[in-house]
Structure 1
Amino acid sequence: MVKWLAAFLGYMIFRLPGAVMGFLLGSFYDMMKDDKGNRSFNQRSSRTVTPADFEMHLISLCAIVIKADGSVNQTELNYVRQYFVSTYGKERANNIFRTFNTVIKDREISAQRVASYLKQRLRYEVRLQLLHFLFAIAKADGAVSKAEIEKIKEIAGYLQVNYRDFESIMAMFVKSADNAYKILEVEQSASNDEVKKAYRTMVKKYHPDKVITEDEAIKKGAEEKFKEVQRAYEDIQKERGF
């Protein structure tokens, strides 16, 4: 099926974020070919939606992040272009980016409208992986700026992603003194018992065995997140000596 091929190609080029986005895009194409595709993770829309609609909303969301600093960052743009080439092939990717250059690049894009469109069609765990992808774009030039963080935070709000989940994902891309605590979704002032409780809660939330899905990309996302949770807990253990 298209989604598995897209996920594989995306993973080979961009590892986990690419696999998730490849699976997301491929599933949308599969849904277009089979109106009875009940196994698709995209929710049904009340109106007809074409693959081109979806592509434009996705590239628009990427553009919002790329332009967050006030200009188009070429390194970040190349990151997205390379991903689209790996997913669609050079000719189709060029057509998509031609639209980007002639329409999207110089226009104000409504983050609320674009994110709301995607929110209605994606499960929560896929929206979390979408945030991973946006942070990966922001960090393509080596660092995530304050403006990019604020823009992705805004998008996360429109996607109805829990703020603690947003902070946890951000902590994987933006290093800080309390990084491990943010990943565990607990305050730095928390007691050892509270840290242990938070760790147990995150294990239950993100353990791969707890993520009931047939989507391989989502399973890989859960595994990566679980590893980050384990690393964060180990860092706090070393810091506190328990």
Structure 2
Amino acid sequence: MIKWFAAIIGYSFLRFPGAILGFLIGSFLDNLNSNKGGGARTVFRDFTKQTVSPADFELNLLSLCSIVIKADGQVSQRELDYVRQYFVSTYGKEKSNAIFRTFNDVIKKREVSAQRICSYLNQRTRYEVRLQLIHFLFGIAQADGQVSQPEVTKLRELAGYLRVGQNDFESIMAMFIKSADNAYKILEIQRSATDDEVKKAYRNMAKKYHPDKVITDNEAIKRGAEEKFKEVQKAYEVIQQERGMV
């Protein structure tokens, strides 16, 4: 380790103060070398504001998954399978098995602090990735066929902790829960909006969710961005047909 070698050199010149200085400089060089090596890429790694330990991120992500899965008072096998499939597609089967050994422990815990987890993520991720998190968690809730009211309540709570805007939350929810004004909710506008306002809203949402904004080699993230973008396009097409817009 460079830091220990640097500490010894520093001590030989400046005794104890030199050892401390050498240790700090060596630690910095060690970190540079380790970062050059790349390391494992987590599902949302490309969007982090600062370096986040993959293990820490995975544990917090799994904790959020467990909160949603247990939101309606029962653990659905289809929801568990959804999470497993997602991790297998992202990390591969071998690592996913190791991750799920931890996940089983998390599921069995009585209390997981959603507010603490979200606070951790708020400090280390961009807003775009928190939108992706809510979309992913809605996917878990819907895996058993429907998103129940307790799940919606819990997801709304998590979105609040993650500082996701109300309009963005309603837009993502409309991608999973259908209603008469579903297309308008996805575009974050009212049914009373003018045609020009509809077109402007579509352009804004298309920019927000366009896959080109997700610069990553991670296929799981790309698929998520493409899915949301397609929902925005579908919503616009529905409104176009409804109004006879050209």
Tell me if both proteins adopt one fold, taking TM over 0.5 as the criterion.
Answer: yes
Distance 1:165-1:32 versus aligned 2 partners, 3 A rule: farther
User: Corresponding residue for 1:17?
Assistant: none
% same residue: 70
Distance 1:43-1:148 versus aligned 2 partners, 3 A rule: same
Equivalent residue in structure 2 for 1:135, among 134, 138, 146: 138
RMSD: 2.9
Secondary structure of 1:53's partner? helix
1:35 corresponds to 2:35: yes
Structure 2 CA distance for aligned equivalents of residues 34 and 91 of structure 1: 24
Distance 1:206-1:106 versus aligned 2 partners, 3 A rule: closer
Structure 2 CA distance for aligned equivalents of residues 67 and 221 of structure 1: 23
**Structure 1 residue 96: Cα displacement:** 3.4
Distance 1:195-1:41 versus aligned 2 partners, 3 A rule: closer
1:148-227 pair list within 5 angstroms: 148-208=151-211, 211=213, 213-214=215-216, 221-227=224-230
Which amino acid in the other structure matches residue 213 of structure 1?
I
Greater Cα offset, 142-151 or 103-112: 103-112
User: Corresponding residue for 2:101?
Assistant: 98
Greater Cα offset, 172-181 or 225-234: 225-234
| Unmatched 5+ stretches in structure 2 | 1-30, 39-44
**Structure 1 residue 92: Cα displacement:** 4.3
User: Corresponding residue for 2:116?
Assistant: 113
- 8 Å Cα contact 1:202-1:229 kept in structure 2: yes
**Structure 1 residue 89: Cα displacement:** 4.8
Structure 2 CA distance for aligned equivalents of residues 33 and 180 of structure 1: 49
**Structure 1 residue 205: Cα displacement:** 3.6
Q: Which one has the largest radius of gyration?
A: 2
Distance 1:81-1:204 versus aligned 2 partners, 3 A rule: closer
| Unmatched 5+ stretches in structure 1 | 1-30
Which amino acid in the other structure matches residue 49 of structure 2?
Q
1:61 corresponds to 2:71: no
**Structure 1 residue 232: Cα displacement:** 1.0
TM-score (norm 2): 0.71
1:124 corresponds to 2:130: no
User: Corresponding residue for 1:11?
Assistant: none
Secondary structure of 1:164's partner? helix
Structure 2 CA distance for aligned equivalents of residues 92 and 178 of structure 1: 42
Q: Deviations over 1:80-108 (max 9, x none)?
A: 12333444455544443333334542312
Aligned length: 207
Distance 1:231-1:155 versus aligned 2 partners, 3 A rule: same
- 8 Å Cα contact 2:63-2:112 kept in structure 1: yes
TM-score (norm 1): 0.72
Greater Cα offset, 151-160 or 194-203: 194-203
